[in-house]
Amino acid sequence: MAIDPKIQAAINKQINHEMTAAYNYLAMVVYFDQINLAGFAFWMQKQHEEELAHASKLFKYLSDRGGVVELEAIPKPSAKFDSVAQVFEAALAMEQANTASINSVYALAKEMNDYATLSHLQWFLDEQVEEEKTMEETLGLVRFVGDDKSALLTLNNQMANRQDEGEGAGG
């Protein structure tokens, strides 16, 4: 049942990618806390938690397949942004990079006829569709409200009402 070393390396890279995303979302929490947008901070905290859950899911899968998890350093994120829109632009770019990374692991598993990994990764592919859709929609709303501070505060209040995954909220 041992996993191929190439797949193991690719999954380890994806674990690092998920942990890096989690750390970047935490930096976004810091930014929103600093500018007193607690609703946005809460929403990004949920994103942080989701990325940790994704990394854990990959970690467990690799372990279950007899692989060795190799944890690598996580780059230091920046918590300096010029606007709410810039935060969501960064988040969208990060999710798009994550999608590309998962796609490359999937392509490798397909090339190697690793059907168990293909099956496991299907959930991640579906999740990334939702992640990108949510970021695009939220960025669109943030851009729409622009410099209207009252509209931004309304959006901030809506962000505070985010439910956990599986309870009807995107993310």
3-state SS, 9-78, equals HHHHHHHHHHHHHHHHHHHHHHHHHHCCCHHHHHHHHHHHHHHHHHHHHHHHHHHHCCCCCCCCCCCCCC
Would you mind telling me the total number of residues written for the chain in this entry?
171
Which of 169, 150, 153 has its CA nearest to residue 161?
Answer: 169
pLDDT value for 163? 66
Is pLDDT at 166 greater than 50 in this prediction? no
- φ/ψ of 80, rounded to 5, equals -105, 120
Contact 108, 20 (CB under 8 A): no
Res. 2 pLDDT band, cuts 50 70 90: confident
Tens of pLDDT, residue by residue over 73-121, are 999 999 899 999 999 999 999 999 999 999 999 999 999 999 999 999 9
Is pLDDT at 167 greater than 90 in this prediction? no
Which residue ranges form the domains of the chain, and what is each CATH number? 5-69+81-159 (1.20.1260.10)
pLDDT value for 52? 97
Which of 76-80, 123-127, 142-146 has the lowest average pLDDT? 76-80
pLDDT value for 126? 96
